[in-house]
Chains A and B, each alone.
Chain A
């Protein structure tokens, strides 16, 4: 085409990014990539190699090695050897290394960007302007955390060796999100990049050498799901961090149940994009472009469900279609392209079939009449209107450039539709009303809410999901904490072997049993309730003589307790001050009955009177502590690099199940209940099976303390059986378990169904009288999750 012809039609021409340096790098590795273990390159023991291709044109970019179990073992051993030295290097020493990595990433930024676009198919604009700068930022930010570690996190220490498995959609960025905090905290890592996209991780390995990182601190092992499973199953890994599909995340939870490994999961999403009728609609349209046509829609937090208010929905769709006509699809290395290639034909096929399913269910398909290359792995931006919440495409994560649109009438309906999903990763809210935005944001079940914006990320702001989008955060202090543990918990010892309680077969009653029979009932929805089963269980003293009976709760009682807790949802929005007042009142009423509670402890456990009284008094002290915390466990206001703020809010988990241990039957019960209640959670308490009377006595204290019904529910009975029912209940958001190792494993395994936040003791005994182990922000963090609300502003 001549200049004159172009002058007349003013089309865009090819604007290719120069790939020569990247091609030369690939050429120098034409023999294939080995594994990066213990600071050097070594061949995999499987000897298997597999190709990686450029999805835009199908050409082979290189060959990766398939790491097998033996390779993973070598890598873990290298990481283990390196970890002590890395920890002892101290915060400043580690900061210097992380700073060097950040600098080197910047120095090689274009090579990283071009390789990423070739390997993944994302546009060079995105890899150059978004991915790689965020990677450098993440290392800089965490160099800072390493520097401040001793001062700011002196009570905590690294977990040890971390196994990290990352996805193909943001290959280097996900590596940075995993590696930077792990290293800053003093851990060493074994990281597996995705098999589609391992190139930049291998370049990163070269950079680790260039930066003089000690051998074994970072190990990069390539391979497919089998390699990943070898990491997941390796016994000497202390922590696993995974980003990927919910399906695989659930499987990892099941495999690692009871292993004692820490686990964070960053999983799928079906994030809502809510447009109110007072939004800047043109800007919201651009927001949609950033939400669902960023990275070809292969983004876990993609705003894939458009919810537009009815009055403006049609106008908004019209504007959106007009905008879609201007999206250019093409080779990812073209600098004038908006949409690149999907990562692999397998993904394209999945998208095609889901869109077909949506259309079959009645959705109206709209695609712009713009050129879409037919030879590579491309899919055009797609809008599905007339979608109902019941449609497959409204529920399933499509992970492609497909937006489904629904309408709503009121803010309440918008929230209800937004939350009508198993996922809870992110949400976008578009309105020019600050009242509306800040009213809606906290009601959305999502770890990140962007007000009048979308897909903003920063190293200082935690990112992660609610519900089945996973647990744990990446970025920010909360992300760093996912790589640390409390020093005070390091000395926890295993429980002695569990001896079943003795109960006299004769049913002989203890002398200390009350003269008039008192029947301890269940406590559900603020009322005493008889167990559904109609059975009771005897409670004995240490001699085996029966002290009393408690209700034998069953699955239906658990169901009823959870239902009562669900109805008490208002507790989450009661002010911290009001929650504090109620906790103080509980303490006051417990104090008034100090002697009676001490006597109960004596009778059940055989404790000495002085010790029993000490347990009651410590319980009162603990209630005071959490009453004190109730209005002080504030979030943070981050200042990410934009004109605006990101508010990190601590939100209650929701309904929490708590299985209490047999030791310190009152103090442990209070120590577990009070932080959850203080943070606004509703709880279903399963008391110690052996000594449940402290808990059943306690409901009379609750009854007289103005606690709304349903906030605390108590179900006695066979503890682990009841816990298993709770673990399998989808309405329950979190589960704390203190007991034997087997029970811990059961809880983690059973909770995988809805990916509950679990906190188990793995059979290690906590010292309930020691506030360092049994009280404090660690408990509050377990009862809450962080929601980051991004609020750019400016008139």
Chain B
């Protein structure tokens, strides 16, 4: 795969979806030139949420946008078709109409960005979401550890795509990063992308396992060179999942990749983001570091299971002026 010949302009009009990143040849010099200063990254992250604030209507609008960027997720051993159907119902109608109405959103069809499930639940989810336009994302390739046999991983991707998944959240082999085997990582992600065919590939780096921010930056670059449509922080199953510093490093890698190749790659922080306030911090980070294009579901997703409830409570507070309780909002 060669570097792009006709890059998209960096700021296409908002209504045009970003083109798919075709990837490029592995450029090890670029990977090795990566520099990340952890303390400086942490200082930036400490002030990102304090440099920006959205209040009242602005807060409501930003939170509504966060909902549209949400991969509503269930990834539990006890998932059943019934549980997944409930999740899909919530995905179609994430906020009660009597809250949306006073916000002037009654006539807007507000949905989450996608529903994210294990392969076994893909068919159920597709059926439940039929006609909604909401894509189903399947976690794959031996999620969460990613240590299944390689050919099984490819077949898992193919099966999920065949079952209707439009997005595949693959996990990388963290060992390739820890041993610096960038060639192996590149080949792996590239093969996953090929197996996914038309389905978009979100490459989960498992940043909590990667030990250093420099590893995170290098793995991000390699995944993008291999053609990932999105890079994603975590499975949600690592001891540490999405953090602002990790997100900042990945966002800067996306910017760097975009500046050099012209291709826009999406970002998905996942795991541990459960409050509206945290969600806003990520949105600020995206807007400040990458620009408004990365505040749309085409280029940005939250992987979250409990975030939605907190956002609903904040929205109700905006409408009623009273603090809300979780039980007032339909569960997913």
Using a CB–CB distance below 8 Å, which chain A residues touch chain B? Answer: 1-4, 6-7, 9-16, 125, 129, 278-284, 286-287, 290, 326, 335-336, 338, 432, 452-453, 642-644, 792-795
B39 x A452 contact (CB < 8 A): yes
A13 x B56 contact (CB < 8 A): yes
- Additional A-B contact list (8), CB under 8 Å, known A278-B35, A794-B38, A795-B38: A3-B61, A3-B105, A14-B58, A16-B55, A287-B40, A644-B39, A792-B43, A795-B214
A643 x B39 contact (CB < 8 A): yes
Q: Given contacts A336-B52, A795-B212, is CB(A6)–CB(B39) below 8 Å?
A: no
Q: Given contacts A6-B57, A13-B56, is CB(A283)–CB(B44) below 8 Å?
A: yes
Q: Given contacts A2-B104, A3-B61, A6-B58, is CB(A432)–CB(B37) below 8 Å?
A: yes
- Which residues of chain B are within 8 angstroms of A326 by Cβ–Cβ distance? 288
- Which residues of chain B are within 8 angstroms of A11 by Cβ–Cβ distance? 58
Interface residues of B in 209-241 (CB under 8 A from A): 212-214
Q: Given contacts A10-B65, A286-B40, A452-B40, is CB(A4)–CB(B55) below 8 Å?
A: no
The SS class assigned to the A binding surface is: loop
**Closest B residue to A278 using CB positions:** B35
Q: Does B103 touch A at the CB level, under 8 Å?
A: yes
What is the CA–CA distance of A286 and B40 in the complex, to the nearest angstrom? 8
What is the CA–CA distance of A45 and B57 in the complex, to the nearest angstrom? 53
A10 x B287 contact (CB < 8 A): yes
Report the 7 A-B pairs with minimum CB-CB distance, sorted nearest first. Answer: A13-B58, A283-B40, A792-B39, A6-B61, A280-B37, A15-B53, A335-B53
Per a CB cutoff under 8 Å, which of B39, B53, B104 touches A793? B39
Mark each residue of chain B from 20 to 46: 1 if its CB lies under 8 Å from any CB of chain A, else 0.
000000000000000111111111100
**Closest A residue to B55 using CB positions:** A15
The SS class assigned to the B binding surface is: helix
B35 x A12 contact (CB < 8 A): no
Per a CB cutoff under 8 Å, which of A3, A280, A284 touches B103? A3
**Closest A residue to B33 using CB positions:** A278
**Closest A residue to B60 using CB positions:** A3
A281 x B35 contact (CB < 8 A): yes
- Which residues of chain B are within 8 angstroms of A793 by Cβ–Cβ distance? 39
What is the CA–CA distance of A15 and B59 in the complex, to the nearest angstrom? 10
Q: Does B130 touch A at the CB level, under 8 Å?
A: no
Nearest CB of chain A from residue B57's CB, rounded to whole Å: 5
What is the CA–CA distance of A642 and B103 in the complex, to the nearest angstrom? 43
**Closest A residue to B259 using CB positions:** A318
- Which residues of chain B are within 8 angstroms of A12 by Cβ–Cβ distance? 52, 54, 58
Nearest CB of chain B from residue A227's CB, rounded to whole Å: 37
A-B contact pairs, 17 of them (CB 8 A): A3-B105, A6-B58, A6-B61, A6-B62, A7-B65, A7-B105, A12-B52, A12-B54, A280-B37, A284-B40, A336-B53, A336-B54, A432-B35, A432-B37, A792-B39, A794-B38, A795-B214
Nearest CB of chain A from residue B258's CB, rounded to whole Å: 12
**Closest A residue to B46 using CB positions:** A129
What is the CA–CA distance of A280 and B37 in the complex, to the nearest angstrom? 6
What is the CA–CA distance of A644 and B38 in the complex, to the nearest angstrom? 11
Per a CB cutoff under 8 Å, which of B36, B42, B108 touches A4? B108
- Which residues of chain A are within 8 angstroms of B212 by Cβ–Cβ distance? 795
B56 x A279 contact (CB < 8 A): no
Per a CB cutoff under 8 Å, which of B37, B50, B56, B292 touches A283? B37
A336 x B51 contact (CB < 8 A): yes
Per a CB cutoff under 8 Å, which of B41, B104, B213 touches A3? B104
B50 x A129 contact (CB < 8 A): yes
- Which residues of chain B are within 8 angstroms of A792 by Cβ–Cβ distance? 39-40, 43
Nearest CB of chain B from residue A4's CB, rounded to whole Å: 5
- Which residues of chain A are within 8 angstroms of B213 by Cβ–Cβ distance? 795
**Closest A residue to B36 using CB positions:** A280
- Which residues of chain A are within 8 angstroms of B252 by Cβ–Cβ distance? 282
Mark each residue of chain B from 250 to 266: 1 if its CB lies under 8 Å from any CB of chain A, else 0.
00100000000000000
Q: Given contacts A286-B44, A792-B39, is CB(A7)–CB(B64) below 8 Å?
A: yes
Mark each residue of chain B from 278 to 309: 1 if its CB lies under 8 Å from any CB of chain A, else 0.
00000100011000100100000000000000
What is the CA–CA distance of A11 and B52 in the complex, to the nearest angstrom? 11
- Which residues of chain A are within 8 angstroms of B287 by Cβ–Cβ distance? 10
What is the CA–CA distance of A326 and B56 in the complex, to the nearest angstrom? 22
- Which residues of chain A are within 8 angstroms of B50 by Cβ–Cβ distance? 125, 129
- Which residues of chain A are within 8 angstroms of B103 by Cβ–Cβ distance? 3-4
- Which residues of chain B are within 8 angstroms of A453 by Cβ–Cβ distance? 39-40, 43
- Which residues of chain A are within 8 angstroms of B42 by Cβ–Cβ distance? 794
A1 x B57 contact (CB < 8 A): yes
What is the CA–CA distance of A597 and B266 in the complex, to the nearest angstrom? 83
Nearest CB of chain A from residue B180's CB, rounded to whole Å: 15
What is the CA–CA distance of A76 and B226 in the complex, to the nearest angstrom? 74
Nearest CB of chain A from residue B219's CB, rounded to whole Å: 15
Nearest CB of chain B from residue A172's CB, rounded to whole Å: 19
What is the CA–CA distance of A737 and B273 in the complex, to the nearest angstrom? 66
**Closest A residue to B48 using CB positions:** A286
Per a CB cutoff under 8 Å, which of B54, B60, B65, B283 touches A15? B54
Nearest CB of chain B from residue A192's CB, rounded to whole Å: 32
A3 x B57 contact (CB < 8 A): yes
Nearest CB of chain A from residue B128's CB, rounded to whole Å: 26
What is the CA–CA distance of A487 and B1 in the complex, to the nearest angstrom? 79
What is the CA–CA distance of A3 and B103 in the complex, to the nearest angstrom? 6
- Which residues of chain B are within 8 angstroms of A335 by Cβ–Cβ distance? 53
Mark each residue of chain B from 52 to 78: 1 if its CB lies under 8 Å from any CB of chain A, else 0.
111111101110110000000000000
B105 x A4 contact (CB < 8 A): yes
**Closest B residue to A128 using CB positions:** B50
What is the CA–CA distance of A11 and B57 in the complex, to the nearest angstrom? 11
**Closest A residue to B213 using CB positions:** A795
- Which residues of chain B are within 8 angstroms of A279 by Cβ–Cβ distance? 35, 37
- Which residues of chain B are within 8 angstroms of A644 by Cβ–Cβ distance? 39
